[in-house]
Amino acid sequence: MELADGFVRGVDYYGIRGSGAAQPYGLLSALDAAGDAYDSTFTAAATLVGSVASAIATAAGDLGGREADDQLSALMDSSSYWLMLRQGADAAGFYFNPSSGPTAINVPPGTLVSPFGIPVFRSNNMEAEHMIVGDFSKLKVYYGENFRVDSSDVAGTRWDKNLIGFRGEQEMGFDARPAVYSGHFQLVEDIVP
């Protein structure tokens, strides 16, 4: 269970922040490398709830100008996500009700928030106060062999203590640049007012 959790966290980290140097080229890294080409100009609203709704609409508008707004999702940092849910409402009329779940049809399970039918996900690996909006189906992940767990043949003193060492492996290839540079993602910064 701990190894599987470690793999999930590793894939999330490298898929978002990977540098491309002996590791996958992550989505946030690709957007940063593109300069301001895929950044949405944005002014935060009075509360985070309004800011998130406005940020999604702004980014979706930029993506729509490139005809890349078909299957959008949003990704934001976990701290901002939970702050948004804690605030719950904005004077501009945006409301998030976590107890009733998403407001749109066909929103993936576990998604609490979906302004304009666009599901919002969270990750601890996102940069604070940032949001990425785009078509995540355009990202291609390539796996070599399946997830593997091996017992270690180098035990050191573990055998004397009746302990076994395990090692997990997975081969993964990923580069977010093609999806980013073909215009399928927008970065919104400073979403917290």
Q: Rounded CA gap, 69 and 60, in Å?
A: 6
Higher pLDDT, 85 or 62: 62
pLDDT of residue 102: 40
pLDDT digits (tens, 9 = 90+) for 174-183: 899 999 999 9
Number of Cβ atoms within 10 Å of the Cβ of 57: 16
Which residues fall within 8 angstroms of residue 75, CB to CB, at 6 or more apart? 16, 27, 120, 121, 122, 123, 126, 131, 132, 133, 136
Average pLDDT over residues 146-170: 64
Average pLDDT over residues 62-76: 92
pLDDT surpasses 80 at 27: yes
Q: What is the pTM of this model?
A: 0.79
Q: Which of 29-33, 141-145, 188-192 tops mean pLDDT? A: 29-33
